[in-house]
Chain A
Amino acid sequence: MIPTFHIMEDLLAARAQMALSLGFHIVFAAIGMAMPFLMAISHYQWLRTGRQVYFDVSRAWSRGVAIFFATGAVSGTALSFELGLLWPKFMQHAGPIIGMPFSWEGTAFFVEAIALGLFLYGRKRLNRWVHWGIGVVVGISGVLSGIFVVCANAWMNNPSGFDWIGGQAANINPVAAMFNPGWKTESLHMILAAFEATGFAVAGVHALMLLFRPSSCHREAFRIALLVGACAALIQPLSGDRLAKGTAARQPLKLAAMESHFETSTFAPLIVGGLPDATAREVRHGIPVPGLLSFLAKGDIRAEVKGLNDFPRVLWPPLLPVHVAFQIMVGCGTALAGLALLSLFFIWRKPAWLGNRRFLILVVLATPLGFLALEAGWVVTEVGRQPWIIYSIMKTAEAVTPMPGLVYPFLLFSAVYLFLTVVVAWLMLRHIRAVARNYPSAMPEGGSHA
């Protein structure tokens, strides 16, 4: 036997490695979905108006995207292996059932990689409009591959398309599995989240530049990113509402954990904030809003909402992370929706106010909120599904690989991803600093050189 120092149980190490890999990859995947559209918008403006500034914006973005896309591609590859390396029993049963969305995802990803190669390197070799069209293909295939992957995740929450007989899947129907009851709401929520998070993060970076080194390049980039982020942020609460209603119907325990709703009741209150205590079965320091949970979950303030106490204690997911992550997601989402309203009003009615310092500071402060909400949302859906890997079918603990010493690969991957995060952040910093040198429209105005 190899020495195991019992730093970490194997199951916990496997879950930590999976969470880390997903949490890392999702940032790059989201950027990979949304950025091509931002570039395409700017590129389109350039083709239409011929103004250099739009060309510069699109070029500057594309260099950043190349870095994010490559990192996303390789971390995504790692995930396709890790599914088997960490959860072989899950993949053995789930592979034939949800292989279909994965094979479509593979196809979409392939098209995306080909189109990206053409887009990044083919500017001088291709007709301008063909080149632009290929940029749009990058975005469309990115979004499609996102939808397919979320289909597979939605299946883990809403297993369908097979019969589970004696620990084996029978009568497999891959089409029914792919289009499970959750696929539409979950993938819509994810796609919107990608646009919201990326839009506001990019807008935040350009807002910061506008505060210190204003230039037409940053102004146009800011406007495009803000517009995209704001549109997504306004629709997102509606999509979240649909998803919550679906969860209430199909995974009532998960909803109860998200809301820390212990006692089944009518006029169920929504608890804002607070820390759930699973032993005492109560929430401390929360603010209950009577009837709101019933309304949000069922569309009627009088409706009965099932509480945690109706379910065996062993089937509860860890309450604290799920509840807190849910609060973070909703909090960030609400803040961004408010900022979105303001932004859209400015863009439509008061374009001059977009350059207001206080507004810019507000957008800078909102830079991380979208990604924070995105990560928190994945914590809600993944930790909220525990102890199941396939909801009500297979426990996560049954699926983990028999290989001992999983803490070592976990530490290895942690080190690699930490290192990559630092390098990518550093590269972006260098890239942003170099923009002013490389693009004429990014020259700081009014001689405010540092």
Chain B
Amino acid sequence: MLEVAPFMLWVVIGFLAFSLLLYCLLAGADFGAGVLEIFMSGERREAQRGIIGKAMGPVWEANHIWLILIVVILFTGFPEVYSRVSVNLHIPLTAMLLGVIARGCSFTFRHYDAVKGRSQRMYSGFFIFSSVWTPFCLGVVMGALTLGNINPAAAGYAEGFIHPWFRPFPLALGLFTIALFAFLAAVYLIGESPEGELRLSFVRKARWASAATVLAGGVVFVSAHLDGLELIPQFLRSKTAMGCLLLATLSLPLLWLALRNAQIWRARMLAGMQVILILAGWMWLQFPVLVHMPQGDLTFFNAHAPERTLVNLAWALIVGGAFILPALFYLFRVFKRDEE
């Protein structure tokens, strides 16, 4: 099937990977900010929340749209994948949706409520909970795609709709996603806060979050083993995937150094690169499989839409990208230019 519009298929795959990366890098950090709010208390908390509100306010909706793009690419370009995932992962996807709704609404309501009174506590509660919950569900879904328990021929309810995702590995990946996003947010927010005690508080959070991410990463590997998913041998077999993972881990001391020397942009670049490397390693290991299944995997090459659809989709993405990317660049330039 590879001979069918190979170039346009690659364009679509490229946009899918790009959208997922940007969703994790940008929206991931927005979720991470909510995770960090758990660890805020005392008199600094209001100031820290103010920084988060100012940093997220103008951009969170744009960051969120990468998710919609992923969904559209999936159901247009790989309809069988979208349909299969929607059926068997109905529960974690619905759970994630509720998180998406709660997070967006509570963040906006907190900022725009005309009266800043007791209701702020309710918004913050929802905001924090949904900021933890949504990445957790996202990780669970990604884990379920990797694990290979999705079985279209499943007879029972549990086998069809619970076992694909309610296993140690997807759950561990959910925890890892929370830690990873919190880590990103902490590093980004250092540059958003004024020098002094506030900035130092985010530096400390970044250190803790990076350690938590490494720890959660270890748990992911252990739980993969428990689930019979031989992740370590797979990584060992693939030089590129292994290289990505090693580079991401071994560059951590560089990040810590940058944090200590208050090199904001170096720290941001390193953290962004580490997240990209982790995702790239995972994608490389997965490729070309989208969903692992016992009866045979769904891949980019056996589950794509007809050629004409792919060509149209690719052009829509290219032309759409020509509008979106400059606009996005402008958005970030307008709101992030002071801190340099």
In the complex, A99 has a CB within 8 A of chain B: yes
B306 touches A172 (CB 8 A): yes
B97 touches A81 (CB 8 A): yes
A117 touches B62 (CB 8 A): yes
B109 touches A423 (CB 8 A): yes
A70 touches B108 (CB 8 A): yes
Given contacts A107-B316, A120-B58, A420-B105, 15 further A-B contacts (CB under 8 A): A66-B112, A77-B97, A85-B86, A88-B82, A88-B86, A95-B75, A96-B306, A99-B312, A102-B75, A102-B76, A104-B316, A109-B68, A113-B61, A126-B334, A412-B94
A121 touches B335 (CB 8 A): yes
Q: List 26 A-B contacts (CB under 8 A).
A: A70-B104, A74-B64, A77-B67, A77-B100, A78-B101, A82-B97, A83-B75, A84-B71, A84-B75, A84-B83, A85-B93, A92-B80, A99-B309, A102-B72, A106-B65, A111-B323, A113-B62, A115-B327, A117-B61, A117-B62, A120-B57, A122-B334, A125-B335, A409-B94, A412-B94, A434-B114
Considering the complex, which residues of chain B in the window 62-93 have a beta carbon less than 8 Å from any beta carbon of chain A? 62, 64-65, 67-69, 71-73, 75-77, 79-80, 82-87, 90, 93
Selected contact of A81 from candidates B93, B308, B316, B335, CB within 8 Å: B93
A107 touches B57 (CB 8 A): no
In the complex, B296 has a CB within 8 A of chain A: no
Q: Which of A254-262, A280-288, A307-315, A400-408 contacts B (4 or more CB under 8 A)?
A: A400-408
In the complex, B227 has a CB within 8 A of chain A: no
Considering the complex, which residues of chain A in the window 363-389 have a beta carbon less than 8 Å from any beta carbon of chain B? none
Q: Complex formed: what's the CA distance from A126 to B331 in Å?
A: 11
B-to-A contact residues, CB < 8 Å: 57-59, 61-62, 64-65, 67-69, 71-73, 75-77, 79-80, 82-87, 90, 93-94, 97-98, 100-105, 107-109, 111-115, 156-157, 160-161, 305-306, 308-309, 312-313, 316-317, 319-320, 323-324, 327-328, 330-331, 334-335
A-to-B contact residues, CB < 8 Å: 1-2, 63, 66-67, 69-71, 73-78, 80-85, 88-89, 91-93, 95-97, 99-100, 102-107, 109-111, 113-118, 120-122, 125-126, 172-175, 401-405, 409, 412, 416, 420, 423, 427, 430-431, 433-434, 438
Given A95-B76, A95-B79, A433-B114, also A103-B317 (CB < 8 A): yes
Across the interface, name the chain A residue whose C-beta is closest to B76: A99
Given A96-B309, A103-B72, also A81-B320 (CB < 8 A): no
The 9 nearest A-B residue pairs measured at CB: A99-B76, A84-B86, A107-B320, A70-B108, A434-B114, A96-B305, A95-B79, A92-B83, A74-B104
Given A92-B83, A172-B306, also A74-B101 (CB < 8 A): yes
B331 touches A2 (CB 8 A): no
A84 touches B312 (CB 8 A): no
B79 touches A96 (CB 8 A): yes
Q: Give every chain A residue within 8 A of B59 (Cβ-Cβ).
A: 117
A107 touches B323 (CB 8 A): yes
Q: Give every chain B residue within 8 A of A109 (Cβ-Cβ).
A: 65, 68
Given A63-B112, A106-B68, A107-B323, also A85-B61 (CB < 8 A): no
Q: Give every chain A residue within 8 A of B331 (Cβ-Cβ).
A: 114, 117-118
B101 touches A99 (CB 8 A): no
Q: Give every chain B residue within 8 A of A66 (Cβ-Cβ).
A: 108, 111-112
Q: Give every chain B residue within 8 A of A97 (Cβ-Cβ).
A: 309
Q: Give every chain A residue within 8 A of B112 (Cβ-Cβ).
A: 63, 66-67, 427, 431
